[in-house]
Structures are given as structure tokens and as C-alpha cells.
Amino acid sequence: MAIYDNLPVYKACYDLLIDAYDVCSRVNREFKYTLGDKLKNDITDLMVCIYEANASHEKKSHLRNAKQLLIKVKIYIRLLHDLRQLSTRRLALLSDKAETVSKQLTAWYNSQKEKKNNNND
């Protein structure tokens, strides 16, 4: 088992969290304590899911939860942009980082499915 903070997906998620804190510090007060807090909390929960998946023998359920949280994160990012709290440049940056996390989670999830299929053979 790899140390969770050395995982590329964990590092990518951490970078996304740092950017989310930076973005949320600049949004209007009306959105900072609602949408901004939800964004930061869900990314933090996503990091916890990554840790739990890495520590668990049954990784798929944690990875499924992580993928669901990431969908919510993407919605919050898009909503911040649509509410004019996030520039198009920042939207592109955060969306790219979220997509990097998504691809890594999907690859990890698929590798767990393949392992299960190989064990059934």
C-alpha cells in the first residue's frame, strides 16, 4: 500500500483544494459562506475518500463516493463562473485540475474492476 500523500491523484486533489481556497477568498460574501464552503468541504471530503480507498481492501465503494463528490465539485465550479464570481481563465484552470483528478479516479476504479475480473478467472 502506497502512502496516500504520495499518490498522484491525492496531490492533484490537494492542488485543486489550494486553488479553491484562493478562489473562495475572492468571491462576494453572499457566496463565500455558502457555495465557497461547500466547494472546499467537498474537495476535502474527496481527499478523505482517496485516503480511505488507498487504505481499504474494498476500494471501489470509496472510489464511487469520490467520483460523486467530484461531480458536485464540478457543478460548484461552474456555478461560481455563471454567477460571475470566477473568471473564465480561473474556470478553465479549475476545470482542468478537476478533470485530471477525474481521469485518475476513473483509471483507478477501472483497475479495481480488472483485478476483480482476474481474480474470478
Query: Which domains, from first to last, does the chain contain?
Result: 4-120 (1.20.1440.60)
- CA distance to 51, 65, 67, per residue, from 112 (Å): 16, 15, 14
What's the pLDDT score for residue 121?
Answer: 55
What's the pLDDT score for residue 2?
Answer: 55
Model pLDDT for residues 26-36, shown as the tens digit of each residue: 999 999 999 99
What's the pLDDT score for residue 3?
Answer: 72
Which residues neighbour 115 within 8 Å (Cβ) at sequence distance 6 or greater? none
What's the pLDDT score for residue 76?
Answer: 98
Helices H / strands E in the chain, number of each: 5, 0
The 10 Å Cβ neighbour count of residue 62 is 21
Report the alpha-carbon distance of residue 112 to residue 106 in Å, rounded: 10
pTM of the model: 0.90
What is the number of residues in the chain? 121
Q: pLDDT digit of tens for each residue in the chain (121 aa)? A: 457 678 899 999 999 999 999 999 999 999 999 999 999 999 999 999 999 999 999 999 999 999 999 999 999 999 999 999 999 999 999 999 999 999 999 999 999 987 767 766 5
What's the pLDDT score for residue 113?
Answer: 80
